Structure 1
Amino acid sequence: MDALVTTQWLASELGASDLRIVDATYLDAAGGRDASAEYEQAHIPGAVFMNLGELRDTDTDLPMMLPSAEKFASRMQSLGLGDGSRIVLYDTSPWHTAARAWWMLRHFGAHDVAILDGGLTKWRAEGRETAAGKEQLRHRHFTVWAGAEGVRTLDQMQRNLSSGGEQVLDARSAARFTGEEPDPRPATHAGHIPGSKNLPYTELFEADGTWKRGEALRQAFAAASVDLDRPIVTTCGSGITAATLLFGLHLLGKDGALYDGSWSEWGASRDTHKAMGAA
């Protein structure tokens, strides 16, 4: 299974015993949409709903930190996702949150994980069947494994300021990156990590919401002055769209790490603000 699959491919695979489809839409409640309610109203047949808003470390004030391996495995098992599953993710979020689910699944040991190109929007535009209500799948064992190599901490990001060992790539909008637009989180400074580069995650998509591929995708990274042959760590506001950049890198055959605390951690820290010279 490719990392990015088409609606036509998925339609031909519906009903396969090892196929698991997941709606990984995450939305800000302030935007007036309810991801769970929208899933129950219409989803791809057989799809279960992954609640990314709950699938996080709830012992921290940071918004979207990785949960424990045990919590993640338990949630996946309850969704019927487990060993031997081919997992296809989609979303209807403006932040393309299927990429966050993709990154988390791979981080915790899932091997066969893909994203549906164009998501539910493309699926419905093509007149394909949808289902309503909730899907019930039997529990399936999920063998969890988690290493630390694909995740960066605040301390590691601070050390990288002097070492410069990794390029830091920020997925937020240009206005958020420059500080022209204030951060929406209370007591969080505007701006960006010193030395980082800006590639708004929206630049990785075509006008119809499908992913750029090949040279078009490569040019998006080149336009942000990213050297694809050097190590890269991605960041954003809360760790969600940073995963979108990682998926884009994956499509180009490259891997990177994700700063999970992202700007919600860096921008609220007194130490980092001091190090930035109050910039």
Structure 2
Amino acid sequence: MQQGNCLPTKLLSRQVRTRSAAAAAMDLPALVEPAWLRDRLDSSDMRVLDCTWYLPGTDKNPYEEFLASRIPGSRYFDLDKISMPDTGLPHMLPSPAAFGAAADALDISNSSAVVVYDRSGCFSAPRVWWTFRAFGHDRVAVLNGGLPAWLAEGLPLDEAPADEAALAAPVQAARSPPANPCFRAHLQEDLVRGLEEMRKLAAAAANGGGGEQVVDARPAARFAGTAAEPRAGVRSGHIPGSRSVPASEVVEGGRLRPANELATIFKAAGVDPGRPAVCSCGSGVTAAILALALHQLSPGNQVAVYDGSWSEWGSLPDTPVDTAD
């Protein structure tokens, strides 16, 4: 039985087998270079997403920038709008059905290879990389250096007018998803942490440690409580027992640092890349940069992201807050 734009079962099975063969031939690491993407851009299995997001208050509009120019074949992923509505927290993970519907509208199947990029280099794209993985899609990579690296290598841009109706479709689909999207999204609970799980980790830290490492990607001054949080009503400080690794330290010139440098940075902060970890930040964006960095060092290790991050923890009156280094 055909549902929405899904293919009939027999045709879908045949297509999945065909794409799986192509997928097996296309090695997809978590981090790819512009030349790698250039050589595979025309693959029928490849989907490229512009996932640009800027901090509130910056005088930039990622949607307008996408309309003006983009990597050829790119689609636009709206991080704020493809999210759970009415939570009071920024860009929380959507429901599996909403994410599946958005993926359908982006022409992404469960066998697609997905490469995500942003216009800062390595800022918001890792959040979308983690989101795909959190919904069970591991065939996703971050373009190292993003659009600036693509341009630095003299690679072309598509500056033709974009189809704005098609750009709106993923958000519309996420807001009103069908009961059974073609893209099957299944939440991987080992990659996501919520408030109650973080409370348990904080309690464990107060009793001498144990459990997962908590790594905070915010600037060091906010971690230490010496700088105010940018969001009103949010306290300064950090989750007890957490370690500070500012996301700016693992990125240089818009690119993720080499593995040997990452290892040194995490070791200096008291973080063991071989142990399970939870990454946190202000709103769950730069935490994913740390998750990507830890994944580069130990791909088989469990690294989760605290989705509510400090926007949630710091705004609650009963969550413990530490300001010690």
Q: Could you tell me how far apart the structure 2 residues matched to 1:247 and 1:5 are?
A: 12
Cα deviation per residue 1:79-126 (whole Å; 9 max; x = unaligned)?
111122110110013761110000000111212101111110011122
1:257 alignment counterpart: 304
1:87 alignment counterpart: 114
Quote the sequence identity (%).
41
Task: Give the superposition deviation at 1:134.
Answer: 2.3
**Is the counterpart of residue 134 in structure 1 residue 179 in structure 2?**
no
Corresponding residue SS for 2:120: coil
Task: Give the superposition deviation at 1:190.
Answer: 0.8
Task: Give the superposition deviation at 1:78.
Answer: 0.5
1:224 alignment counterpart: 269
Corresponding residue SS for 1:270: coil
Task: Give the superposition deviation at 1:147.
Answer: 2.9
TM-score when normalising by structure 1? 0.93
Task: Give the superposition deviation at 1:278.
Answer: 9.5
AA aligned to 2:149 is K
* Structure 2: runs of 5 or more not aligned: 1-27, 171-180
2:59 alignment counterpart: 32
AA aligned to 1:26 is W
Cα deviation per residue 1:181-213 (whole Å; 9 max; x = unaligned)?
10111111111111111000111123x322112
2:241 alignment counterpart: 195
Q: Could you tell me how far apart the structure 1 residues matched to 2:227 and 2:212 are?
A: 26
Tell me how large the CA RMSD over aligned residues is: 2.1
Within a 5 Å distance, the mapping from 1:79-158 to structure 2 comes to: 79-93=106-120, 96-132=123-159, 133-134=161-162, 141-158=182-199
Equivalent residues, number: 276
Worse-matched range after superposition: 160-169 or 242-251: 160-169
Given that residues 213 and 251 in structure 1 are in contact (C-alpha distance below 8 angstroms), is that contact kept between their aligned partners in structure 2? Answer: no
TM-score when normalising by structure 2? 0.80
Q: Could you tell me how far apart the structure 1 residues matched to 2:121 and 2:222 are?
A: 16
Task: Give the superposition deviation at 1:214.
Answer: 2.1
CA 1:95–1:10: 2 relative to 1, 3 Å: closer
Task: Give the superposition deviation at 1:228.
Answer: 2.2
* Structure 1: runs of 5 or more not aligned: none
Q: Could you tell me how far apart the structure 1 residues matched to 2:293 and 2:91 are?
A: 20
Corresponding residue SS for 1:60: coil
